A and B are shown apart, each in its own frame.
Chain A
Protein backbone atom coordinates (compact mmCIF):
# COMPACT_ATOMS: atom_id res chain seq x y z
CA UNK A 1 0.00 0.00 0.00
CA UNK A 2 1.05 3.60 -0.45
CA UNK A 3 2.31 5.37 2.60
CA UNK A 4 4.12 8.55 3.60
CA UNK A 5 5.58 8.83 7.07
CA UNK A 6 7.52 11.38 9.07
CA UNK A 7 9.98 10.08 11.60
CA UNK A 8 8.26 11.12 14.75
CA UNK A 9 5.24 13.01 15.86
CA UNK A 10 7.31 15.29 18.07
CA UNK A 11 10.97 16.22 18.32
CA UNK A 12 12.62 18.29 21.06
CA UNK A 13 16.07 19.77 20.60
CA UNK A 14 18.25 22.34 22.32
CA UNK A 15 18.70 25.79 20.83
CA UNK A 16 21.76 25.99 18.60
CA UNK A 17 21.70 22.32 17.64
CA UNK A 18 20.79 20.91 14.23
CA UNK A 19 17.29 19.50 13.90
CA UNK A 20 16.89 16.62 11.46
CA UNK A 21 13.44 15.57 10.31
CA UNK A 22 12.77 12.52 8.18
CA UNK A 23 10.17 11.84 5.51
CA UNK A 24 9.83 8.29 4.19
CA UNK A 25 7.45 7.02 1.56
CA UNK A 26 6.54 3.71 -0.05
CA UNK A 27 4.96 2.87 -3.39
CA UNK A 28 5.05 6.44 -4.67
CA UNK A 29 7.22 7.87 -7.42
CA UNK A 30 7.18 11.61 -6.84
CA UNK A 31 8.70 14.03 -9.27
CA UNK A 32 9.16 16.61 -6.55
CA UNK A 33 9.17 16.77 -2.82
CA UNK A 34 8.25 19.87 -0.82
CA UNK A 35 8.63 20.89 2.81
CA UNK A 36 6.21 23.19 4.60
CA UNK A 37 6.05 24.81 8.00
CA UNK A 38 2.76 25.04 9.87
CA UNK A 39 2.16 27.07 13.01
CA UNK A 40 -0.82 26.37 15.29
CA UNK A 41 -4.05 27.68 13.82
CA UNK A 42 -2.39 28.70 10.56
CA UNK A 43 -2.12 27.33 7.06
CA UNK A 44 1.10 25.65 5.89
CA UNK A 45 3.85 27.87 4.51
CA UNK A 46 6.13 26.61 1.75
CA UNK A 47 9.82 26.31 2.63
CA UNK A 48 11.72 24.28 0.06
CA UNK A 49 11.24 22.11 -2.99
CA UNK A 50 13.61 19.45 -4.29
CA UNK A 51 13.39 17.60 -7.59
CA UNK A 52 13.89 13.87 -8.05
CA UNK A 53 17.19 14.44 -9.85
CA UNK A 54 18.55 16.72 -7.13
CA UNK A 55 20.40 15.34 -4.15
CA UNK A 56 20.45 18.41 -1.97
CA UNK A 57 18.95 21.89 -1.74
CA UNK A 58 19.82 24.68 0.67
CA UNK A 59 18.17 27.89 1.76
CA UNK A 60 19.77 29.89 4.53
CA UNK A 61 19.75 27.58 7.61
CA UNK A 62 17.64 24.95 5.89
CA UNK A 63 18.90 21.94 3.96
CA UNK A 64 16.90 19.22 2.25
CA UNK A 65 18.18 15.96 0.80
CA UNK A 66 16.27 13.56 -1.41
CA UNK A 67 17.22 9.94 -1.95
CA UNK A 68 14.87 8.29 -4.44
CA UNK A 69 16.52 4.91 -3.92
CA UNK A 70 15.87 4.95 -0.19
CA UNK A 71 12.59 6.81 -0.79
CA UNK A 72 13.55 9.28 1.86
CA UNK A 73 14.01 13.00 2.37
CA UNK A 74 15.87 14.59 5.25
CA UNK A 75 15.15 18.14 6.36
CA UNK A 76 17.79 19.90 8.45
CA UNK A 77 17.60 23.15 10.38
CA UNK A 78 21.03 24.26 11.51
CA UNK A 79 21.66 26.59 14.48
CA UNK A 80 18.06 26.07 15.51
CA UNK A 81 16.18 28.79 17.37
CA UNK A 82 13.03 28.75 19.50
CA UNK A 83 11.31 30.60 16.63
CA UNK A 84 11.80 27.45 14.53
CA UNK A 85 9.34 25.62 16.77
CA UNK A 86 6.46 24.52 14.55
CA UNK A 87 5.07 21.49 12.75
CA UNK A 88 6.93 20.57 9.57
CA UNK A 89 5.18 18.77 6.74
CA UNK A 90 6.65 16.97 3.78
CA UNK A 91 4.61 16.67 0.61
CA UNK A 92 5.04 14.52 -2.49
CA UNK A 93 4.15 16.02 -5.86
CA UNK A 94 2.84 13.00 -7.74
CA UNK A 95 1.80 14.52 -11.05
CA UNK A 96 3.69 17.73 -11.73
CA UNK A 97 1.53 20.05 -9.77
CA UNK A 98 -1.85 18.35 -9.84
CA UNK A 99 -1.87 15.82 -7.07
CA UNK A 100 -0.16 16.13 -3.69
CA UNK A 101 0.25 13.74 -0.79
CA UNK A 102 1.24 15.18 2.58
CA UNK A 103 2.89 13.48 5.51
CA UNK A 104 1.34 13.71 8.98
CA UNK A 105 3.95 16.20 10.16
CA UNK A 106 6.59 16.42 12.87
CA UNK A 107 6.12 18.90 15.69
CA UNK A 108 9.50 20.45 16.44
CA UNK A 109 10.18 22.19 19.74
CA UNK A 110 13.44 24.11 20.11
CA UNK A 111 14.20 24.61 23.77
CA UNK A 112 16.09 27.73 24.92
Chain B
Protein backbone atom coordinates (compact mmCIF):
# COMPACT_ATOMS: atom_id res chain seq x y z
CA UNK B 1 0.00 0.00 0.00
CA UNK B 2 1.30 3.43 -1.00
CA UNK B 3 1.75 5.49 2.11
CA UNK B 4 3.67 8.00 4.18
CA UNK B 5 4.50 6.80 7.68
CA UNK B 6 5.59 8.80 10.68
CA UNK B 7 7.00 7.69 14.01
CA UNK B 8 6.26 8.17 16.75
CA UNK B 9 2.60 9.11 16.49
CA UNK B 10 2.58 10.62 19.96
CA UNK B 11 5.48 11.97 21.98
CA UNK B 12 5.76 13.78 25.28
CA UNK B 13 9.19 15.12 26.12
CA UNK B 14 10.91 17.77 28.19
CA UNK B 15 12.59 21.00 27.21
CA UNK B 16 16.06 20.53 25.78
CA UNK B 17 15.97 16.80 25.17
CA UNK B 18 16.89 16.14 21.54
CA UNK B 19 14.37 14.17 19.54
CA UNK B 20 13.83 12.90 16.01
CA UNK B 21 10.55 12.30 14.24
CA UNK B 22 10.94 9.92 11.35
CA UNK B 23 9.11 10.09 8.04
CA UNK B 24 9.22 7.44 5.36
CA UNK B 25 7.42 7.03 2.03
CA UNK B 26 7.25 3.96 -0.19
CA UNK B 27 6.21 5.70 -3.41
CA UNK B 28 9.65 6.65 -4.69
CA UNK B 29 8.69 10.32 -4.40
CA UNK B 30 11.32 12.98 -4.95
CA UNK B 31 9.65 15.77 -2.98
CA UNK B 32 9.10 15.61 0.78
CA UNK B 33 8.06 18.26 3.25
CA UNK B 34 7.38 18.85 6.94
CA UNK B 35 4.52 20.94 8.34
CA UNK B 36 3.29 21.85 11.76
CA UNK B 37 -0.39 22.47 12.48
CA UNK B 38 -1.56 24.72 15.28
CA UNK B 39 -5.12 25.80 16.14
CA UNK B 40 -6.13 28.91 14.23
CA UNK B 41 -2.85 29.04 12.28
CA UNK B 42 -3.30 26.23 9.81
CA UNK B 43 -0.51 24.14 8.40
CA UNK B 44 2.83 25.91 8.22
CA UNK B 45 5.73 24.57 6.20
CA UNK B 46 8.92 23.91 8.17
CA UNK B 47 11.33 22.41 5.64
CA UNK B 48 11.11 20.73 2.29
CA UNK B 49 13.35 18.61 0.12
CA UNK B 50 13.30 18.41 -3.65
CA UNK B 51 15.51 15.34 -3.77
CA UNK B 52 18.27 13.49 -1.96
CA UNK B 53 20.74 15.87 -0.30
CA UNK B 54 18.63 18.89 -1.34
CA UNK B 55 16.73 20.64 1.45
CA UNK B 56 15.39 24.15 1.93
CA UNK B 57 13.64 26.22 4.57
CA UNK B 58 9.91 26.75 4.63
CA UNK B 59 8.13 29.47 6.56
CA UNK B 60 8.94 28.36 10.12
CA UNK B 61 12.33 26.56 10.14
CA UNK B 62 13.72 27.97 13.40
CA UNK B 63 14.49 25.27 15.95
CA UNK B 64 14.31 22.42 13.44
CA UNK B 65 16.75 20.46 11.31
CA UNK B 66 16.20 17.94 8.55
CA UNK B 67 18.28 15.61 6.45
CA UNK B 68 17.64 13.71 3.23
CA UNK B 69 20.26 11.02 2.86
CA UNK B 70 17.90 8.57 1.18
CA UNK B 71 14.97 9.17 -1.09
CA UNK B 72 12.44 7.44 1.12
CA UNK B 73 13.33 9.04 4.48
CA UNK B 74 13.09 12.62 5.68
CA UNK B 75 13.58 12.88 9.46
CA UNK B 76 12.74 16.00 11.43
CA UNK B 77 15.20 16.79 14.22
CA UNK B 78 14.58 19.02 17.21
CA UNK B 79 17.99 19.58 18.78
CA UNK B 80 16.69 21.40 21.84
CA UNK B 81 12.89 21.31 21.94
CA UNK B 82 10.99 24.10 23.63
CA UNK B 83 7.33 24.33 24.72
CA UNK B 84 6.47 26.52 21.71
CA UNK B 85 7.25 23.53 19.51
CA UNK B 86 4.32 21.64 21.00
CA UNK B 87 2.24 20.96 17.93
CA UNK B 88 0.86 18.42 15.46
CA UNK B 89 3.44 17.60 12.80
CA UNK B 90 2.78 16.24 9.34
CA UNK B 91 5.15 14.88 6.75
CA UNK B 92 4.12 14.96 3.09
CA UNK B 93 5.54 13.66 -0.17
CA UNK B 94 4.94 14.15 -3.87
CA UNK B 95 6.33 12.54 -7.03
CA UNK B 96 8.33 15.45 -8.34
CA UNK B 97 8.55 19.01 -7.15
CA UNK B 98 8.09 20.31 -10.66
CA UNK B 99 4.94 18.26 -10.96
CA UNK B 100 3.65 18.89 -7.50
CA UNK B 101 1.43 21.69 -8.66
CA UNK B 102 -0.40 19.28 -10.88
CA UNK B 103 -0.04 16.29 -8.63
CA UNK B 104 -1.07 15.73 -5.13
CA UNK B 105 0.79 15.90 -1.87
CA UNK B 106 0.34 12.74 0.20
CA UNK B 107 0.30 13.39 3.92
CA UNK B 108 1.33 11.12 6.76
CA UNK B 109 -0.92 10.45 9.75
CA UNK B 110 0.69 13.08 11.96
CA UNK B 111 2.83 13.17 15.10
CA UNK B 112 1.46 14.91 18.16
CA UNK B 113 4.37 16.36 20.10
CA UNK B 114 4.15 17.85 23.58
CA UNK B 115 7.19 19.61 25.05
CA UNK B 116 6.95 20.22 28.79
Chain A residues near B (Cβ < 8 Å): 4, 31-32, 34, 41-46, 49, 51, 89, 91, 93, 96-105
B2 within 8 A of A: no
On whether the beta carbons of A97 and B107 are closer than 8 Å, the reply is: no
User: Of A42, A97, A103, A105, which is in contact with the most chain B CB atoms at under 10 Å from its CB?
Assistant: A97
Pairs A–B under 8 Å by Cβ, sample size 22? A4-B42, A43-B109, A43-B110, A44-B107, A45-B107, A46-B104, A49-B101, A91-B43, A93-B100, A96-B98, A96-B100, A96-B101, A97-B94, A97-B97, A97-B99, A98-B100, A99-B58, A100-B45, A102-B35, A102-B43, A104-B40, A105-B42
Interface size classification for chain B: 20 to 34
B contacts, CB < 8 Å to A: 4, 31, 33, 35, 40-45, 48, 50, 56, 58-59, 90, 92, 94, 97-102, 104-110
With A32-B101, A97-B31, A97-B101 as given contacts, are A104 and B50 in contact (CB-CB < 8 Å)? no
Contact partner of B48 (CB less than 8 A), chosen from A34, A41, A43, A98, is: A98
Q: How far is the CA of A103 from the CA of B40 in the complex (A)?
A: 9
